A = this chain, B = another copy of it.
Amino acid sequence: MRADARENRARVLAVARDLFAERGLEVPMAAIARRAGVGVATLYRRFPTKESLVVEAFSEQFAVCQGVMDDALQDPDPWLGLRMVIEKVCLLQACDRGFTAAFMASFPDLHSEVRDRTWLGFVALVQRAKDSGHLRADFSPHDLTLVLVANGGLSSLPAEVAVAASQRLVAYLLESFRAGTDALPPPVPLSLDLVLGQAVPDNSVGR
């Protein structure tokens, strides 16, 4: 790959990251190209589809997520680990308008091995936190998804308040998650697979 091409590719990625964070995934490819000072074709030569650009642009953030989970698993205090996972991932979500959508969009593509390993790790963390007596007994690992989806809804807020709103929401929720509170309705079996398998029927208007 030629030197100038490599530089262009890097600039495109940086611009894409910025714009996705600022405006969400619906930012047009042409806008990214213009801001990066290249033509649309250059984008499409390096990233065959918009989705591939999205995945590449967010791969760093996904790695951070992975790291957060690993750290949490190694924390001797499982309750603290759990709190950290929720707080940090929600903060990532709140700071980056495109993060949730990118996460959802690329989740099926993430190597299922990685994905399953992470999920099982979280399940174990939840169990340890319950055993330690700090996490309420009827907390379900699926509640992580619940928190993520709810917190993702905040990305419709203007950036100035999104972070503060997310922090307050998470604080409220974490307080409920602590042991010693009353019983809840049964947990929702809310796997990410379910979230992703949304039917989008009958979009073919021409029939």
Contacts and interface: CB of A to CB of B under 8 A. Distances in A.
Interface of A: 23, 28, 30-31, 34, 104, 143, 146, 149-154, 156-158, 161, 164-165, 167-169, 171-173, 175-177, 181-182, 184-185, 187-190, 194-195, 197-202, 205, 207
User: Is the contact region of chain A dominated by helix, strand, or loop, or is it mixed?
Assistant: helix
Contacts of A158: 194-195, 197-199
Contacts of A150: 150-151, 153-154, 169
Contacts of A167: 185
A12 B102 CA distance: 35
A168 B195 contact: no
A187 B169 contact: no
**Copies of the polypeptide in the assembly:** 2
Contacts of A154: 149-150, 153
A128 to B, nearest CB: 21
Contacts of A172: 143, 172-173, 176-177, 184
> Which 4 residue pairs are nearest across A and B when measured between Cβ atoms?
A153-B153, A172-B176, A150-B150, A175-B176
B188 A164 contact: yes
A152 B169 CA distance: 13
Best-surrounded residue of A176, A194, A207 (most CB of chain B within 10 A)? A176
Nearest to A181: B175
A156 B152 contact: yes
A158 B34 CA distance: 36
Given A146-B168, A175-B176, A185-B167, A190 B157 contact: yes
Nearest to A177: B172
Contact of A205 (B30, B153, B176, B185): B30
